[in-house]
Amino acid sequence: MHCHLDLYPDPFGVARQCENKGIYVLSVTTTPQAWSGTKKLENNNSKIRTALGFHPQLAHERIRELELFDAILPKAKYVGEIGLDGGKEYKETFKAQLDVFRYVLKSIRNAGGRIMSIHSRLNAGGVLSQLEKHPDAGIPILHWFTGNKLELKNAIDIGCWFSIGPAMVKTKSGQAVISEIPRNRILTETDGPFARHRGQPLMPWDAGLVVPQLAKLWDIPILEVENILQENFRMLISQGVNAE
């Protein structure tokens, strides 16, 4: 549910491999400008879907692209990645981040809502308070969530889903978060090529690496984990506004 296909050295090669393997990929983008080029990776009949994004770390440089975001939105069935980043290095641009996040949530609501992949690094509280103010924006999926227990509870209460990847399940803090999430709200992701595993960028098909870890954490057989994850995915898509 969260992979940057367009940022691999050979995006078309990776997309072709996804197609051969028959896997579903939510191909997120970081700017409205990137959407149309990235959409070409769908190659008509594959299981790749392209999400329209506005990354918080780029918000301040791209405010001009809000108009383009609105122009593309009717054609985009998924949104991501969007959100807020509370990192020190982005403190100076926080106002722009917040303006962009609020703006796009309003647009998404006006467009009838979307499934959204959301970045909340070091500012889960800020993200959740905006989602609470825009309850009709659709279905939020918090990607690689690292908030505290209270924020996690709040996120669950307001109906968020969570996409988790190999880089998250291998850390103690990630496992602590995962063990508190209801099993029927968990989806998989990689955040490749940014997220890495054993020194290599994660590939979209590496999302399955979380399965044995979840089996351990939940103390159930691998097959059961696979069933839960597939059922969750089906449930999400069937609830999605503009479901395909």
Residue 214 three-state SS: helix
| CA-wise closest residue to 192 among 180, 204, 176, 175 | 204
H-assigned helices in the chain: 11-21, 32-39, 59-62, 66-72, 94-110, 124-133, 149-157, 166-169, 172-180, 210-218, 222-239
Nearer to Mn ion, 120 or 225 (CB): 120
Nearer to Mn ion, 191 or 206 (CB): 191
Give me the residues that bind Mn ion (CB under 5 A), please.
Answer: 191
How many whole angstroms separate alpha carbon 61 and alpha carbon 161? Answer: 29
* Shortest Å distance, C-beta 148 to Mn ion: 21
* Shortest Å distance, C-beta 93 to Mn ion: 18
Nearer to Mn ion, 194 or 218 (CB): 194
* Shortest Å distance, C-beta 191 to Mn ion: 5
Nearer to Mn ion, 113 or 193 (CB): 193
Nearer to Mn ion, 119 or 185 (CB): 119
How does DSSP assign 102-158, residue by residue? HHHHHHHHHTT-EEEEEE-TT-HHHHHHHHHH-GGGEEEEEET----HHHHHHHHHT
Compute, in degrees rounded to 10, the torsion defined by CA atoms 47, 42, 140, 149.
Answer: 80
Nearest residue to Mn ion on Cβ basis? 191
* Shortest Å distance, C-beta 141 to Mn ion: 12
* Shortest Å distance, C-beta 111 to Mn ion: 22
